[in-house]
Amino acid sequence: MFKKLFGLAPKLEEDGSYSPSKLALKLAVKAKTDYTPVSYQKYTGKKSKILVIFTEEKNMKMQNGKLFSTGNHPVEALLPMLHLQNAGFEFDIVTPTGKPVVFEMWAFPKEDKYVKAIYNELKSSFEKPGKLGDFIQNSLNDTSSYAAVFVPGGHGAMLGIPEDSNVGKVLHWAHESEVFMITLCHGPGSLLTTTLQNRKFLYDGYEMAVFPDSVDKQTPMIGYLPGHMPFGLSERLKGLGAKLMNTKSDDTVCRDRLLITGASPLASNNLGKLAAETLLQELK
């Protein structure tokens, strides 16, 4: 009753999951993003494709058994894609099994015309994405067409993806083929796939920006999460040898070799700029 009175109670959804409280939404979700269009000198070469691996899962079971209504964070997905599209790149959109892309629609910036525009433009691809296994079967040897792999953030990126051997195959392929890897916030959970089959962590010693476990531990207090996370991401990556470049959920972005990362939703715009500028420079 106290939490409801002060807007701290997570909202119960029809499927039994919980989305963030009124207070959490007020603090964490903006009607408009900080995105502004950039006039890039568009890429016109052969490596014009970016593989975008979205999660198809919605509900994360917390330690207390409650389900968090999650998915891909729309800002963390669409702002980087806006910059990459403006720089002349196009997208192959996939999910692990070809099921529709799931977004945290409660986090959608409803008054942002740019985010709305690219969402509507790609909506049919979000509803009917490709299957990651098909990409591996048909396109994994096509290194001449792909500039990067992009795994958006959102807590949903920690559902299924970190244990998906196909994601691991793609990340090893990207690393060996000099294809960039772009991810942010909780999307670096995908990097854990490189340790599957008892393999050494591919990004041992790399600098990266990741959403801090310390912040995830605090957010249940304001009702952003309905309980504590099933596992911590940033400390797990640190334990594998990653060098974390941020301690807050801020706008930190980082490039180390072929890995480009960002710390949180606040880094989405900076990550898009860094990724676009890096690809344009490196693919000359």
Share of the chain above pLDDT 70, in %: 98
Q: What is the DSSP letter of 248?
A: S
CATH number, domain of 199, equals 3.40.50.880
Entry pTM: 0.97
Structure tokens at 103: 């977004």
* Residue 235 C-alpha from the chain's centroid: 18
Please give the average per-residue pLDDT across 231-247, as a whole number.
Answer: 97
DSSP codes, 168-190: HHHHHHHHHTT-EEEEETTGGGG
- Kindly tell me if the per-residue pLDDT of 267 is higher than 50: yes
Q: How confident is the model at residue 104 (pLDDT cuts 50, 70, 90)?
A: very high
Residue 173 lies in a domain: yes
Q: Evaluate whether 163 touches 197 at the Cβ level (below 8 Å).
A: no
Q: Would residue 183 count as lying in a domain?
A: yes
Does 265 map to a domain? yes
Cα–Cα distance, 281 to 284 (Å, whole number): 6
User: What is the average pLDDT across 213-241?
Assistant: 96
Angle subtended at Cα 43 by Cα 109 and Cα 115, rounded to the nearest 5 degrees: 5
- Which residues, 6+ apart, have CB-to-CB distance to 196 below 8 Å? 163, 165, 168
pLDDT at 284: 85
Inside any domain, residue 239:
yes
Q: Is the pLDDT of residue 195 over 70?
A: yes
> Average pLDDT, whole number, for the chain?
96
Q: Which residues are catalytic?
A: 185
Q: 70 lies in which domain range?
A: 19-30+42-282
Q: Burial-class residue 262 by CB neighbours within 10 Å (0-12, 13-18, 19+).
A: buried
Classify residue 53: in a domain, yes or no: yes
| pLDDT digit string, tens, across residues 58-102 | 999 999 999 999 999 999 999 999 999 999 999 999 999 999 999
Could you read off the pLDDT of 28-54 as tens digits, one per residue?
999 999 999 999 999 999 999 999 999
Is there a domain that residue 270 lies in?
yes
Q: What is the pLDDT of residue 2?
A: 44
Domain assignment present for residue 37? The answer is no
- Asked if pLDDT for residue 6 goes beyond 90, the answer is no
Number of domains in the chain: 1
Q: Is residue 148 part of a domain?
A: yes
Q: Cα–Cα distances in Å, from 86 out to 118, 148, 178, 221?
A: 11, 15, 22, 39
